């Protein structure tokens, strides 16, 4: 018996599925996909080793395309204050929130950052995640930002998972620049960005373009500088207010615009025209007790590709479960399970600029896949809090060190 393969590659069947199928791997890539009987005959004739996956479901390795996985400390005390009635914005304006994680991250050694991030990465991997995007943004000076990105790159060497790094240069205004916004934006968009790019530490950039963070003008300065260096961009857009960040992301051809609870019809159209992926982050929405979800029906009608990610971060989404994010994308945002799974595979790959290489199970793509003890794919969104993952293959290798 072979696998039921959800290729997520489109086609007539939901999930691009192929029943009783098999997949052949050569090196790090998928060499063949088709019917199990045919594969078994060919493999036996040529003495190729076979693995019987006993009727399990197989999906592409999951891709968490938006995380802040590397950070110092935690924000559980802030969580308690918010449960007591304080808002995220009030805490941020009073110097808590992101600033408190900046203090803890600056104080942490590279090894302390590494150890706590490893734990979080392994939890994601245990649920079939084979690619993780990791942002900086809690250093906010060149040395601490570099350290975060180096730790993130190191995780990719230490673990079988693929890591993509993002320089989140504009996340919050650090205390030492409180009276010099201009100076900070100039530094982050100038010498710091150039040093990080020259060291090859970032695959992309990101900015928090928001009422409590950076303006459209400041964000534009940063995105323009990244573009000159050939770095693609993501934008945290419309999480708390619509300040026009989605339109800006579209204008710069950003790979993704993320959050989007506050998004106009014009912003949606702009994303559709630029082909920018909308990355939905339902765990942050849940933790902030927001009540107006992103305009999913509008996004869908405009054919904006939808991705789903954990936003793993200490403030608004201390979540290391991609399956929980998928469940919430369905129940809170109204995605279908097929859209949600596509959002953590095909469209997440696209949000990272990796669509040619991964995100679907197709010949020639990277052999990253997960095996599941489930009866049908929707169970990945349904079985709240369960982990039916039965195995993960990274670049053709079955690894158990998650």
Q: Please give the residue ranges that form the binding site for ligand DI6 (CB under 6 A).
A: 97-98, 101, 171, 208, 236, 239, 284, 311, 313-316
Cα–Cα distance, 167 to 195 (Å, whole number) = 11
Of 188, 213, 212, nearest to 202 by C-alpha is 188
* Cα–Cα distance for residue pair 210/106, rounded to 1 Å: 24
When CB distances to ligand DI6 are compared, the closest residue is 315
Find which of Fe ion, ligand DI6, none residue 219 binds, CB within 5 to 8 Å per kind.
Answer: none
In Å, how far are 6, 9, 232, 348, 398 from 342, measured between CA atoms?
A: 10, 9, 22, 8, 23
* Nearer of residues 53 and 288 to ligand DI6, judged by Cβ: 288
Give me the least distance between CB of 256 and Fe ion, in Å please: 11
Q: Which is nearer to ligand DI6, 127 or 311 (CB)?
A: 311
Residue 354 beta carbon to ligand DI6: minimum distance, rounded to whole angstroms: 22
CB of 65 to Fe ion, least distance (A): 11
User: In angstroms, rounded to a whole number, what is the distance separating the alpha carbons of residues 306 and 268?
Assistant: 12
Is 311 a binding residue for Fe ion by CB under 5 A? The answer is yes
Nearest distance in Å: CB 102, ligand DI6: 9
The 10 Å CB-count burial string (b at 16+, else e) for 46-64 is eeeeeeebeebbbbbbbbb
Closer Cβ to ligand DI6, 97 or 337, answer by number: 97
Task: Name which of 135 and 366 has its Cβ closer to Fe ion.
Answer: 135
> 97 is in the binding site of which of Fe ion, ligand DI6, none (Cβ under 5 to 8 A by kind)?
ligand DI6
Q: What ranges make up the beta strands (E) of 238-283? A: 256-259, 277-280
* Site residue total, Fe ion (CB under 5 A): 1
Closest to Fe ion by CB, 133 vs 218, is 133
Q: Measured at the alpha carbon of residue 270, what is the angle toward residues 269 and 273, in degrees to the nearest 5?
A: 85
- Locate 216 and state its tokens: 């459209």
Q: At what angle do helices 142-158 and 98-107 cross, to 10 degrees?
A: 70
Nearer to ligand DI6, 69 or 393 (CB): 69
267 contact choice in Fe ion, ligand DI6, none (CB below 5 to 8 Å, kind-dependent): none
Residue of this chain nearest to Fe ion (CB atom): 311
| Residue 105 contact partner, candidates ligand DI6, Fe ion, none, CB within 5 to 8 A by sort of partner | none
- Cross-strand bridge partners of residue 237: 209, 259
Alpha carbon distance 103, 144 (integer Å): 10
Helix (H) or strand (E) holding 188: helix 181-189
Q: Which does 239 bind (CB under 5 to 8 A by kind): ligand DI6, Fe ion, none?
A: ligand DI6
Nearer residue to ligand DI6 within complex by CB, 284 or 380: 284
Binding site for Fe ion (CB under 5 A): 311
């Amino acid at each position: 018996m072979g696998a039921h393969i959800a290729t997520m590659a489109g086609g007539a069947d939901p999930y691009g599925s192929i029943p009783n199928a098999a997949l052949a791997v050569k090196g790090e890539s998928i060499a063949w996909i088709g019917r199990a009987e045919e594969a078994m005959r060919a493999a036996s004739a040529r003495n190729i080793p076979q693995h019987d996956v006993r009727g399990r479901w197989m999906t592409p390795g999951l891709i968490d395309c938006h995380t802040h996985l590397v950070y110092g400390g935690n924000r559980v005390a802030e969580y308690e204050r918010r449960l007591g009635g304080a808002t995220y914005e009030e805490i941020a304006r009073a110097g808590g929130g992101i600033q408190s994680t900046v203090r803890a991250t600056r104080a942490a050694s590279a090894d302390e950052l590494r150890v706590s991030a490893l734990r979080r990465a392994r939890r994601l991997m245990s649920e079939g995640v084979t690619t993780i995007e990791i942002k900086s943004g809690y250093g906010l000076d060149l040395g601490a930002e570099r350290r975060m990105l180096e730790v993130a790159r190191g995780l990719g060497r230490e673990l079988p998972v693929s890591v993509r790094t993002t320089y989140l240069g504009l996340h919050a205004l650090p205390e030492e620049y409180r009276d010099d916004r201009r100076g900070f934006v100039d530094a982050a968009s100038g010498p710091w960005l150039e040093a990080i790019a020259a060291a090859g530490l970032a695959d992309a950039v990101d900015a928090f373009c928001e009422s409590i963070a950076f303006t459209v003008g400041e964000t534009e300065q940063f995105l323009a500088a990244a573009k000159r260096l050939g770095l693609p961009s993501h934008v945290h857009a419309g999480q708390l207010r619509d300040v026009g960040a989605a339109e800006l992301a579209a204008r710069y051809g950003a790979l993704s615009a993320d959050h989007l609870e506050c998004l106009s019809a014009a912003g949606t159209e702009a994303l559709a025209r630029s082909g920018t992926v909308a990355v939905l982050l339902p765990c942050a929405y849940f933790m902030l007790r927001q009540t107006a979800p992103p305009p999913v029906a509008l996004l869908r009608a405009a054919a904006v590709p939808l991705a789903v990610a954990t936003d793993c971060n200490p403030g608004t989404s201390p979540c290391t479960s991609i399956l929980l994010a998928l469940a919430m994308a369905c129940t809170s945002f109204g995605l279908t399970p097929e859209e949600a799974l596509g959002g953590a595979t095909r469209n997440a790959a696209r949000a990272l600029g990796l669509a040619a290489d991964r995100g679907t199970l197709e010949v020639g793509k990277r052999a990253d896949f997960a095996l599941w003890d489930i009866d049908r794919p929707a169970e990945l969104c349904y079985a709240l809090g369960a982990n039916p993952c039965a195995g993960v293959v990274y670049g053709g290798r079955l690894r158990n060190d998650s």
